[in-house]
Amino acid sequence: MLRQLLISGLLVIGAIWLWVERDMVLTRLDLAAAEPPAAARRAPEGVPVIVAPVRLARDDLEVEVVGSGRAERSVTLKAEAAGKIIEMALEPGRRFAAGDVLLRLDDSEERLARALAEARLAEAKRVRQRYTRLQSSGAAADARLDEVATAAEVAEIELARAEEALSDRLLRAPFDGVSGLPEVEVGDRITTDIAIASFDDRSTVLVEFPLPEALQARVSAGMPVTARTPAHPKRAFEGHVVAIDSRVDVTTRTTTLRVAIPNEADLLRPGASFSIGMSLPGETYPLVPELAVQFSSGSLHVWRVSGDRVERVEIDLVRRRAGEVLVEGALAEGDRVVIEGTQRLAPGKTVRVIGPDAAGAGS
């Protein structure tokens, strides 16, 4: 009985104490529950940043220029002599081989002149042979033999002249090519100044166009190009650079380029307009996101993460590319540059990489 009274008394005393000190106990319990573990109380150090890797890329340029085409070889046909046309093979678009007869002038007089020269030469040769036999027997003087020999030589020259005059009555194809619209007809009398027709070798079409001198170093003979023309808007024709002018125009600051476009199918025409596309190779530069490039104190820079600190790297802008920038500076492939969180950075500042590239923070 006494033990029960003692226990009951202690419980009453404890209850009274808890009632009196309840506020202090509750406060201590709340603080204990709100206080995080020791590891959680250590906040991470460094400025949080997001980084991106540096890549290497070539400064290639896609250039498109416009020029006019011309045949690889092109002439305006004219006769070597004046006269009346008696035969003509010229037709628009007709192909000829080099040496084919395109046109014949009346050559009756020239044929007679050649026949006369042939007869005179034959006679001169007979006289020379006779005097040669007489001279060997001592019956002819040396002076007379010289005279007949000279006469034979003159007769040969006259025959050659007659044959040349007869040849001038023919107009022949100067090379393999295609004739244009003739400006004359059979029966017309022409002179050496009359333009008869155009004649083109269009197996290859040449296109010339100006290129800015700043791009001249990127171009070389043999470089491939792609050509398009309004006559065939759905087709592209492959060609290559065949010549680069040796001078820069002082007025336009451009250099003339010539490209050749094979025309085996004969689809292209001289005089047509062409759009020439070229891929000009450039040097290799670091490529960084545009967000990484900062401007201050009159110069451009990026923040490179090295370990857990950042360093400022001065750069020069080379070219922009759809959200990225080719730069020139002391950057290597794989370097990590800050793209978010640059406002709080300074040289040597400790940073904490967050985001997709946080896994490489220790590298």
Is the same domain home to 223 and 161? no
pLDDT of 41 strictly over 60: no
* Res. 29: pLDDT tops 50: no
Q: What is the pLDDT of residues 193-233, one digit of tens each?
A: 999 999 999 999 999 999 999 898 899 999 999 999 999 99
Do 173 and 154 share a domain, yes or no? yes
Residues 322, 246: one domain? no
CATH no. for residue 161? 2.40.50.100
pLDDT for res 328: 94
pLDDT at 192 over 60: yes
Greater confidence (218 vs 41) lies with 218
CATH, residue 308: 2.40.420.20
Q: Please list the residues that pair with 76 across neighbouring strands.
A: 198
Q: Is the pLDDT of residue 139 over 70?
A: no
Say if 196 falls within a structural domain.
Answer: no
In a domain, 28, yes or no: no
The string of pLDDT tens digits covering residues 148-183 is 888 889 999 999 999 999 999 999 999 999 999 999
Assign residue 8 a region: left if phi > 0, alpha if psi is -120 to 50, beta otherwise?
Answer: alpha
Tell me if 220 is assigned to some domain. yes
pLDDT of residue 40: 46
The 3-state DSSP class for residue 205 equals: strand
Question: What is the number of domains present in the chain?
Answer: 3
Neighbours of 22 (CB within 10 A): 10
Domain limits at 308? 48-58+284-360
Beta-bridge partner residues of 350: 309
Compute the distance between CA of residue 252 and CA of residue 326 in angstroms, rounded to an integer: 28
Domain boundary at 222, 245, 280, which?
A: 280
Angstrom distance (rounded) from CA 292 to CA 178 = 61
Tell me: do 230 and 260 sit in the same domain: yes
Shared domain for 312 and 224, answered yes or no, is no
Per-residue confidence band for 27, with pLDDT thresholds at 50, 70 and 90 = very low
pLDDT tens across 84-120, in order?
999 999 999 999 999 999 999 999 999 999 999 999 9
pLDDT for position 363: 47
The amino acid present at 47, given as its one-letter code, is V
Per the domain annotation, does 295 fall within a domain?
A: yes
Q: Which of 190, 211, 233 is the last residue before a domain boundary?
A: 190
Say what the pTM is.
0.66
Which residue bears the tokens 């004046």? 82
CB distance 123 to 131 below 8 Å? no
